[in-house]
Every structure is written in C-alpha cells, then in structure tokens.
Amino acid sequence: MVVLCCVLLSACGGSSVTRPALILNAENYMNEAIQAYADEQWNRAQQLFERSLINYQSMDDRLGVLVCHINLVEVALAGHALALAEKHLALADAMLKTEALPGYQARISLLYALVAMQQDKMIAAHSFLQSVLPDFQLTAFTVDAVQLAAIASRTEIAFVQKQNESLWTSRFENALEKSVPANQAMQARLIRFQARLLMHAGDYAKAEALFQQALLIYKADLSRSGIAQVLFELGTLSQQQSAKAQAINYFNRAIAVFQSLGQTEKVNKIKQSLGKVQIEQL
C-alpha cells in the first residue's frame, strides 16, 4: 500500500511537460549508435553518432557535442579509420582547451595514445599514457575505467616492445581486481596476455588452455573482434607447435570472422600467415 502511494506521488511529481523532439532525437540516435557499436557495426555506429552530433550542435549542447566527438573517435579507431579518429580527437581536444568541461582530459589522453598505437608510434603512445596511468608505487591505488584501459594498452605496448611484459601483465591483473564492476572483455584481455607470456616461455599446453578460456568469454559476450583475434593467436600457437592442419583451421576461422567485420587489413595479414603454413605443409 505504501509502495503504491509512493508510485502515485512520484507520478504526480514527474515531468508533465514533454521533452523537445530534438533532444529526444539526439538521445535516440546516441542510444542506437551505442547499440551498433556494441554489435560491432562500425559504419552504422558512425552514421548514427554523426546524426546525434548534428542534433547536439543544432542545440549548442556542448557536452553532447564533446561526447559525440569522443564516441566517434572510438568508433573510428575500432574501424581503423585513422583520419576520422584524428579529426574528431582534435575537435574534442580543442573543446576541452577552450571550454570549461572538466573530467574528460584523461579520456582524451587515452585516445591520443590509442591513435598513436594504431600508427605504430609506441613511444608517443607511451608518453600519452604516462599522464593517465595510476601511481603503482602507492600500496592502495585506485583505478577507474580510463586508467584500466590505459594499463591494458600499456601492457600491449610492453608486448610489442618486448620489455617488462610480465610486470605489466601483473599490474594489469592487480588493477583489474580492484576495478568495479567486473569487465568481461578486460578479463579476456588479461587471460590473453597471460597466454602470450606462457607461449613465449614455451608452455604451449597452458597457453592454449588460456586462449580457449578467452575464446569462451568472447563468445559468451559475442565480441566478434575478440573471437577473431583469439582464433588468430591460436593459429599462431599451433603454427609454433608445428600443428599445421590445426593452424590452417584456426586461420581460416579467423579470416571468416574478420571478413564479417569488414577488416580487410587483418584478413590480408592472416592470409599471409596461412600461405606460409600451407607452403610448409607441402
């Protein structure tokens, strides 16, 4: 009875005035774009974010415009459209510098680092990440979502540069334990880092088990890019084990998934590895 009264009271206290269609449209476009991004439909997500951006710009909603720019940078990076990412990142950065919009500087720095990583500029990416990373010297450091992503990116740089991979993997593991709520994609990323460490150490059986675990997580989350990446890594692992038929199988599966995502560069890269294995098999 009490609850019913509360419901009735809140209903009376709710906004009785309908919100403007422009705002509703902008938000609807934004929500649909986020859903498209989650579905890894990069082109659709980009189009919807751009429509939302136009709506926010027509209302001069600065925060909405900034959010749209940041989201467009993420979509462009996911689709490997570097020029578009740089354009929107520069616009977002300019807004931050000229307008009072606090709380987004770390995100912008992280995005700069991600852009630099896609350009294979690891040193520049490292310097951008320095301002985002937490102070690991402190015993009780806290980690937010941006910092967690920065640590994961820094770990990736460590693997690319082949410097302190295990250190950064353990730091990522610690940070992930402290982050709330649990992020399955990040968990799968950590498992993959650990599997790569084991692969480098020559413990192929454990590495494969971890890769399979990561694959299960990605499949449960239906992350196609994650699935494709793990399949490629499993193929590489099989190649190192001289299990050529298995490697070919994994590579073909990875190609199929990457093709569904429209990532031609990835497909070509895997085809090269596939060709090498097939030549070795003859």
Interacting residue ranges for another protein, rule: CB under 8 A: 3, 6-7, 10-11, 13-16, 18-19, 27, 30-31, 34, 37, 63-64, 67, 70-71, 74-75, 77-78, 80, 107, 110, 114, 117-118, 145-146, 148-150, 152-153, 156-157, 183, 186, 189, 225, 229
Minimum distance of another protein from residue 169's CB (angstroms): 13
**8 Å CB contact between 92 and 73:** yes
Of 242 and 256, nearer to another protein (C-beta) is 256
- In the complex with another protein, the residue whose CB is nearer, 30 or 277, is 30
DSSP states along 48-97? HHHHHHHHHHHHT-HHHHHHHHHHHHHHHHHTT-HHHHHHHHHHHHHHHH
Integer Cα distance of 92 and 45 in angstroms: 18
C-beta of 113: minimal distance to another protein in Å? 8
- For residue 181, say if its preceding peptide bond is cis, omega within 30 degrees of 0: yes
Direct distance between the N- and C-terminal alpha carbons of the chain, in angstroms, rounded to an integer = 78
The whole-angstrom separation of Cα 247 and Cα 240 is 9
**Closest CB 97 distance from another protein, rounded Å:** 19
Query: CA-CA distance, 89 to 102, in Å (whole number)?
Result: 16
Q: For 101, list phi and psi in degrees, rounded to 5.
A: -130, 80
Which lies closer to another protein via its Cβ, residue 242 or residue 268? Answer: 268
Q: What's at 89, amino acid-wise?
A: L
Closest contact distance (angstroms) between CB of 219 and another protein is: 17
Beta carbon nearer to another protein, 10 or 139: 10
Q: Which is nearer to another protein, 10 or 98 (CB)?
A: 10
In the complex, the smallest distance separating the C-beta of residue 8 from another protein, rounded to whole angstroms, is: 9
Which residues does 257 contact at the CB level (< 8 Å), separation at least 6? 224, 227, 228, 231
CB of 26 to another protein, least distance (A): 9
Q: For residue 41, give Cα distances in angstroms to 33, 52, 95, 119, 224.
A: 9, 16, 27, 23, 10
Shortest CB 14 distance to another protein, Å: 3
| Nearer of residues 146 and 237 to another protein, judged by Cβ | 146
In this complex, which beta carbon is closest to another protein, that of residue 205 or of residue 265?
265
Dist CA 232 CA 271 (whole Å): 11
Residue 146 vs 274, nearer CB to another protein? 146
* Nearest CA-CA partner of 79 in 261, 253, 256, 254: 261
Structure tokens at 32: 């649909």
- Give least dist CB 156 to another protein, A: 5
